[in-house]
């Protein structure tokens, strides 16, 4: 008598901050302070050098830590006032959600780079309410699943612009129906060059949706039995001192056009776990959901996106989640 085979469900790992309130910066050149007043020290940024691949950054307050972080002509280290970008979203301290003397305490993390020699640090800093807008988290499930999230975000080589594609909601994404990756949601988007397709993975965790994106290089009209095949190749970066890159390539039997696009979509929906796993391993290495493109719905009905560094979440009362996608 044959025994049933149980397929283990895939799970994602993520460190999520415990926050209910955010602020959106609404002005340029805003100063952040150690205490909720203009006499307190400014938040500053110390950069280890002028821009090598190992550059790392530390943030500090000018009145209490200035002696620890100094400019250095020998190493190229320099110091700047930290100014948040106009439009950036910051998490408000969950233990101090209300304004104090018209100021909000927010969680700030230093800039980080792929090859940084050290991890970024974080600080609680105060921003004056005149220079930001309060955004409260909408935890209603229908609002979260109904959010319109860009199907793709890419750099247009011809115009030099960052392009945000038309949005899709979670129910509109494609969903694997079988195997270890059942219920993994994704969407595909053909980039203007016609040579690359962007694949975006969507994963809801509580009231947030995490999005991870990668491009697949397309080779058309390949002589092969299968309509589509996928492989991962390791390539050297064009930039000196940068590490190797993992590149996904799809070989398509069909010529360039809609038939090839449909073939890749069908392949991603129906291929075996080993093949689909190649894509997931690139999108979410070691099962970890990236935290650089996170979406949520505000109580004002608008959709917001922000990023955070998972290595600093512990400083902000964050929680670890193991998300089983089969549930």
Percent of the chain with pLDDT over 90: 66
Do 27 and 93 touch, CB atoms closer than 8 A? Answer: no
Mind giving me the DSSP string for 140-179? -HHHHHT--EES-EEE-TTT--EEEPPEE-GGGSEE--SS
pLDDT at 30: 98
> Is the model's pLDDT at 241 over the cut of 70?
no
Quote the pLDDT of residue 258: 84
Mean pLDDT of the chain: 90
Q: Return the pLDDT at 222.
A: 87
Alpha-carbon span 295 to 307, nearest angstrom: 9
Helix (H, G, I), strand (E, B) or coil at 43: strand
- pLDDT tens track for 172-205: 999 999 999 999 999 999 998 889 999 999 999 9
Averaged pLDDT for residues 9-34: 95
Percentage of the chain beyond pLDDT 70 is 93
Between helices 258-270 and 273-283, what is the axis angle to 10°?
Answer: 100
Per the CB < 8 A criterion, the answer to whether 106 and 91 are in contact is yes
Position 7 scores a pLDDT of: 64
Of 29 and 224, more confident: 29
Residue 209, class by beta-carbon neighbours within 10 Å (0-12 exposed, 13-18 middle, 19+ buried)? buried
So what's the pLDDT on residue 8?
A: 74
Residue 178 in contact with residue 240, Cβ under 8 Å? no
Q: Which of 28-42, 267-281, 309-323 comes out lowest in average pLDDT?
A: 309-323
Please give the pLDDT value at position 236: 66
Average pLDDT over residues 222-226: 86
> pLDDT tens, 92-110?
999 999 999 999 999 999 9
- Reading the block at residue 166, the tokens are 């038309």
Q: Is the pLDDT of residue 247 over 90?
A: no
Phi then psi dihedrals of residue 245, to 5 deg: -110, 145
The CA distance from 35 to 127, in Å, is 9
In a 3-state reduction of DSSP, which class is residue 49? coil
Exposed/middle/buried for residue 206 (C-beta within 10 Å: 0-12, 13-18, 19+)? middle
pLDDT (mean) for 21-27 = 98
Residue with the bigger pLDDT between 69 and 241: it is 69
Mean pLDDT within 83-100: 95
pLDDT of residue 22: 98
- Is the confidence at residue 259, as pLDDT, over 70? yes
Q: Yes or no: say if 18 and 94 are a contact pair by the CB < 8 Å rule.
A: yes
pLDDT > 60? residue 269: yes
DSSP string, 252-288: ESSPTTHHHHHHHHHHHHHS-HHHHHHHHHHHSGGGB
pLDDT digits (tens, 9 = 90+) for 132-180: 999 999 999 999 999 999 999 999 888 888 999 999 999 999 999 999 9
> DSSP string spanning 50-86?
SS-TT--EEEEEHHHHTTTS--BTTTTBEEEE--PPT
Residues 6+ apart with CB under 8 A from 3: none
List the domain boundaries for the chain: 24-133, 140-287
What pLDDT sits at residue 212? Answer: 97
Give 2-19 pLDDT, tens digit per residue.
445 556 778 999 999 999
User: Quick check: 108 and 43 in contact, CB under 8 A?
Assistant: yes
The mean per-residue pLDDT over the stretch 124-138 comes to 98
pLDDT per residue over 34-49, tens digit each?
A: 999 999 999 999 998 8
């Amino acid at each position: 008598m044959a025994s049933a085979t149980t397929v283990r469900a895939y799970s994602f790992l993520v460190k999520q901050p415990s926050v209910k309130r955010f602020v959106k910066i609404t002005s340029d050149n805003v100063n952040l302070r150690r205490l909720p007043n203009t006499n307190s020290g400014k938040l500053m940024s110390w950069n280890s050098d002028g821009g090598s691949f190992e550059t790392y950054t530390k943030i500090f307050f000018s009145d209490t830590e200035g002696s620890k972080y100094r400019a250095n002509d020998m190493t190229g280290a320099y110091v700047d006032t930290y100014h948040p970008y106009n439009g950036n979203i910051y998490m408000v301290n969950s233990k101090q959600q209300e304004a104090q003397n018209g100021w909000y305490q927010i969680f700030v993390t230093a800039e980080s780079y792929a090859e940084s020699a050290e991890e970024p640090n974080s600080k609680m800093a105060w921003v004056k309410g005149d220079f930001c807008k309060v955004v409260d988290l909408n935890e209603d499930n229908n609002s979260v699943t109904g959010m319109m999230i860009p199907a793709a975000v890419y750099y247009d080589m011809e115009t030099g612009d960052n392009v945000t594609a038309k949005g899709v909601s979670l129910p509109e994404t494609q969903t694997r129906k079988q195997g270890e990756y059942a219920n993994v949601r994704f969407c595909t988007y053909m980039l203007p060059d016609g040579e690359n397709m962007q694949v975006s993975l969507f994963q809801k965790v509580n009231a947030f949706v995490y999005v991870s994106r990668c491009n697949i290089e397309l080779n058309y009209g390949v002589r092969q039995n299968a309509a589509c095949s996928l492989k991962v190749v390791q390539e050297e970066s064009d930039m000196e001192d940068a590490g190797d890159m993992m590149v996904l390539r799809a070989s398509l039997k069909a010529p360039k056009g809609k038939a090839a696009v449909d073939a890749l979509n069908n392949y991603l929906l129906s291929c075996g776990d080993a093949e689909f796993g190649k894509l997931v391993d690139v999108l979410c290495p070691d099962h970890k959901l990236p935290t650089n493109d996170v979406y949520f719905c505000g109580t004002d009905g608008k959709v917001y996106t922000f990023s955070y560094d998972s290595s600093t979440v512990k400083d902000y009362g964050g929680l670890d989640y193991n998300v089983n996608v089969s549930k």
